[in-house]
Amino acid sequence: MTQPESDSNHLIVDMQPVGRRIAIEVGKTLLDAAQEAGVGLVSLCGGEGWCQSCLVRHTSGEINPPTQSELDYLSDDELKSGFRLACQVIPRTDVRIDIPPESLSTPQRLQVEGVDFDVPLAPIVEVVDLELAPPTIEDLRADADRIEDALAERGLPEVRIELPILTNVSEVLRKQKWSIRLALRENEVIAILPSGSGIYGISVDIGTTKLALYLVDLLTGKVAAKVGEMNPQIAYGEDVVSRIAYATQNPDGRRILQNALVDALNKKIHEVREYAGINDWQIVDAVVVGNTAMHHLFAGLPVEQLVFAPYVPAVNQTLDIRAGDLGISLAPGAYIHLLPNIAGYVGADHSAVILSTELWKTEKTVLAIDIGTNTEISLASRGRLLSCSCASGPAFEGAHITNGMRAAPGAIERVQIMDGQIKLFTIDDEPPVGICGSGILDAVAEMKAANLMDERGALIEGRLNVRRNDADQLEFLLAAASSTGHGRDITVSRKDVNEIQLAKAAIRAGQEILLIKAGITADDVDEVIIAGAFGTYINIPNAIEVGMFPDLPVQRFRQIGNAAGMGAIQALISVEHRKLIEKVIKDVDYIELTTYADFQEEFVKAMYLR
């Protein structure tokens, strides 16, 4: 069976927005279902019904009425809205549930560490401490004028004090007893803080699937906290195109997607603030990166034109937007700096990759590849920078793969096939429950190396563990029911192999076109930088084996993790780096693959397994 089906002993549980369907035995709970499906539902009390951490929302199908535990712990409003504790719910028919982001354990493999960076600390926001004279009957200057005058007395330049600061200026000055620390951003007052307060900034990488947020101490340049989260927009569409469809086809759709993101970011900001023991006024600056669609949806920009040829962004330039205008809770006057986009499908996140990989200044020939649902590739060659984007699809995130899953405990992340033995490695060494991106890539490479299929990806009947399924199609048995966490087989189908072929072919064709455009060949490439969470975990020799990358010595490959996040941090702590990337991006030579005559040919060539 490639798709779970219900029968007299089994019921289907459809889990949204993670997009997992699983058949569970009648009598099992939703928590069992989530665990069998490899969905990381939090369960602190181990299913005893008292920790409330496995909160889910029941949206269709029949289930048992609330148990005493649920009546004790959930409010009437929650129960009315369909909220239940997954450990207490036993489906009576096929059901569908929504899992809110806070009930999901932080994805195990969310990449919040990255390359080291060495950028001189020069944030755009600086501080000035002032002692003001309180007003008296002889000194009737307005409160804001008093600040201006004190700066002038110190010989400092005139500052702008805008509405978000003025709104509270009188109360704050009196509360701080006229002894204050100003946070100043290019001569604009961002916050009026108590004398001596620390100031912080946040960097955010908005991925289509995941968010990564860093809190950075702007007086030291150190990362003070970091946190990851699912992008809550997943509930409105798995990929960029379906989200744009939602945004444009629903009344107020754009605002709904924006609000979902803003709410999630505000929660994360609250978390890192609590962790660092600071208040919202101390966060005086922010840098946000994301692909062009995420960038536009976050800023509330038009997105419809991104899905119609010729796919142009509303804006590529650097943006500085008041945090309050987007509903983000920082210091009253704080701005959010968005790095520039390059094209409709090469966004600010890739600009950040170019920044943090120093592609802008290298004298070597370097390919930088940020693998995701869209894969962005840049090539630095002889002082030129060429970029393109390829639609690699969500296969490497475990989607559209029969037993695919996200990187979570029990996911098969490594596969070795040697001498007729299949060796599996799972995340957290849990019994396998599915295959994540690096695992399926490994599986395909090893199956090919073991000659279980031909160079077109067709499985060869009779070879090791290759068998016919109920639909009389060939499949490869990766893990037998007896060894898995859910007691069912984990298999790789012809279709799964094909998904990987399509994904890797797109990525490879993109590289080849850039090389052709630069007038060089793969052999000229000194370094291949692989960015992104998935890219960090792949087995490079196997990726070469399936033809995802050119056949270069593995020493030339460098896996650097969340380079976009690192670039965002660099832009946060260095105003020079903001100017730098803005300038660099202007000279990027963007190649639109869909219009490139040779693309189809390169793509078909790249479909083959070596």
Q: Which residue ranges make up the site for its own copies (CB under 8 A)? A: 135-137, 139-145, 148, 161, 163, 166-171, 174, 299-302, 304-305, 309-317, 319, 321, 325, 341, 343-344, 590, 592, 595
Q: With b meaning 16 or more CB within 10 Å and e meaning fewer, what string describes 353-377?
A: bbbbbebbebeebbbbbbbbbbbbb
Q: Which is nearer to its own copies, 60 or 167 (CB)?
A: 167
Can you say whether the dihedral through the CA atoms of 106, 109, 111, 113 is positive or negative? positive
Q: What's the rounded Cα separation, in Å, for the pair 209 and 538? A: 18
Q: Which is nearer to its own copies, 329 or 403 (CB)?
A: 329
> In angstroms, what is the minimal distance from the CB of 23 to its own copies?
45
> In angstroms, what is the minimal distance from the CB of 347 to its own copies?
11
> In angstroms, what is the minimal distance from the CB of 293 to its own copies?
13
* Rounded (10°) angle between helices 163-175 and 143-153: 80
The structure tokens listed for 561 are 């993790």
Q: Which is nearer to its own copies, 3 or 136 (CB)?
A: 136
Q: Which is nearer to its own copies, 20 or 295 (CB)?
A: 295
Strands (E), 297-365: 319-322, 335-338
Q: What's the rounded Cα separation, in Å, for the pair 43 and 88? A: 12
> In angstroms, what is the minimal distance from the CB of 302 to its own copies?
4
The structure tokens listed for 23 are 């058949």
Q: Which is nearer to its own copies, 342 or 503 (CB)?
A: 342
Q: Which is nearer to its own copies, 146 or 448 (CB)?
A: 146
Can you list the alpha helix ranges (DSSP code H) found in 125-252? Answer: 143-153, 163-175, 240-249
538's enclosing H/E stretch is: none
> In angstroms, what is the minimal distance from the CB of 509 to its own copies?
18
Q: Which is nearer to its own copies, 9 or 600 (CB)?
A: 600
Q: Which is nearer to its own copies, 299 or 581 (CB)?
A: 299
Q: Which is nearer to its own copies, 76 or 139 (CB)?
A: 139
> In angstroms, what is the minimal distance from the CB of 145 to its own copies?
6
Pick from 30, 16, 23: which is nearest to 2 by CA?
Answer: 23
CA distances from 180 to 146, 277, 331 (A): 12, 20, 15
> In angstroms, what is the minimal distance from the CB of 320 to its own copies?
9
> In angstroms, what is the minimal distance from the CB of 184 to its own copies?
17
Q: What's the rounded Cα separation, in Å, for the pair 561 and 534? A: 8
Q: Left if phi > 0, otherwise alpha if psi is -120 to 50, otherwise beta: which for 308?
A: beta
Residues 6+ apart with CB under 8 A from 450: 417, 418, 463, 464
Hey, how many other C-beta atoms are within 10 angstroms of the C-beta on 385?
A: 22
What burial class does residue 189 get, using C-beta atoms within 10 Å of its C-beta: 0-12 exposed, 13-18 middle, 19+ buried? buried
> In angstroms, what is the minimal distance from the CB of 247 to its own copies?
12
